[in-house]
Amino acid sequence: MHYQDLVLQPLKQLLADYPWLEDFFGSFGLQLQATEQTLQQYLDRLDPDHLLDLGISQEQLQQSLHDFMAGMLALDEAAEKVESLTIIGGFDKTGSAEQLELTLKPGEVICIVGPTGSGKSRLLADIEWVAQGDTPTKRKILINGGVPDNKWRFSTEHKLVAQLSQNMNFVMDLTAEEFVRMHAESRLVPDPEEKVARILEQANQLAGEQFKPDTPVTSLSGGQSRALMIADMAILSKSPIVLIDEIENAGIDRKKALELLVKQEKIILMATHDPILALMGDKRLVIKNGGIAKIIASSDAERKNLSRLEELDNTLLALRNRIRFGETLEEL
């Protein structure tokens, strides 16, 4: 919808659809009420003298509103639905062609497996950069079957990919609650407090040891930090593609983390050495010598084995917890 059409809409409807309007007018010391009055009527009835006292003229306010709404609507349009991501093969470290074209859909979990140094992180980087034959592997990434718009590659506002790397450090002197609230408010989401509460709750369900909302982010452990960012990524991020590098090293409930992300209908690619995570995926990309050497679809037999592996993993987890809490293992 264009600006000219929006200003003719009732404020009640506009505030429900675009809650960031309240923040815009609030920044000028003006208040919007959810009434049947249109936005244009509201603007026309503003007292010019009052506006001058606030340091802005009627014309300046309307121009600022026009520019602001154009930018915010462009962000909403940029969050267009990604229905598919296609990886067109490049070359491995020896120069051999990968000879593949793999299309991924929202809700799919793709695991990237291979020895350390085989090129798993390179594949994640190609996807993050929306490579167009201009990376060392010469791979190409298509979005919805076509060459993606440059906004996906170069714009800081229109991020196609949310990535969680192996190494993460906070440098801001904020509590966990303040950090998440700042992120929620920067995205101008409706009911930011509800989002903050959900993220903190989900993060504590994922973390090995729970933390309080007033815990400084610089005091969070590695596992707590990644749990917080996974919950934040799932609930706040509009990025339709999630890249995760070795989540098993985070000390979090990896199964719950994966389920949380899958619920959001995102395309998930995860580099891992963990056999349980590998079998949780819909497909496995086997990386060898810098290239995709094999694509394996998880079979029914592997799904059955996954249940057995999860039982063994739960047993090991119980033993780990006994060690953590100072118990002996003289009896198993």
The closest of 27, 32, 35 to 68, measured between CA atoms, is: 27
- What does the pLDDT average to over 228-250? 81
- What does the pLDDT average to over 130-145? 94
Please state the pTM of the whole predicted model: 0.70
The HSE-up count of residue 284 (CA atoms within 13 Å, CB side) is 19
**Whether pLDDT at 49 is above 60:** yes
Q: Contact, 292 vs 98, CB < 8 A?
A: yes
Among the residue ranges 2-16, 95-109, 245-259, the one predicted with the least confidence is 245-259
Kindly report, residue by residue over 10-40, the tens digit of the pLDDT.
998 888 888 878 888 888 889 888 899 999 9
Kindly report, residue by residue over 244-254, the tens digit of the pLDDT.
877 765 567 77
Per-residue DSSP letter, 35: S
Residues 134 and 243: their CA atoms lie apart, in Å, by: 20
Per-residue DSSP letter, 149: P
Residues 258 and 277: their CA atoms lie apart, in Å, by: 9
Residues 257 and 262: their CA atoms lie apart, in Å, by: 9
**Whether pLDDT at 277 is above 90:** no
Place of tokens 């309080």: 212
**Whether pLDDT at 292 is above 60:** yes
Please report the sign of the dihedral spanned by the C-alpha atoms of residue 208, residue 209, residue 215, residue 220: negative
- What does the pLDDT average to over 180-187? 86
Among the residue ranges 69-83, 103-117, 164-178, 282-296, the one predicted with the least confidence is 69-83
Among the residue ranges 115-124, 188-197, 289-298, the one predicted with the least confidence is 188-197
**Whether pLDDT at 273 is above 90:** no
More confident site: 192 or 330: 192
Tell me the pairing of strands 85-88 and 140-143.
antiparallel
**Whether pLDDT at 319 is above 90:** no
C-alpha distances out from residue 259 to 167, 206, 280, Å:
22, 11, 10
Considering only CA atoms, give the Rg of the chain: 24
**Whether pLDDT at 288 is above 90:** yes
The type of residue at 54 is: L
Task: Give the per-residue pLDDT at 211.
Answer: 93
Count other Cβ atoms within 10 Å, centred on residue 15: 19
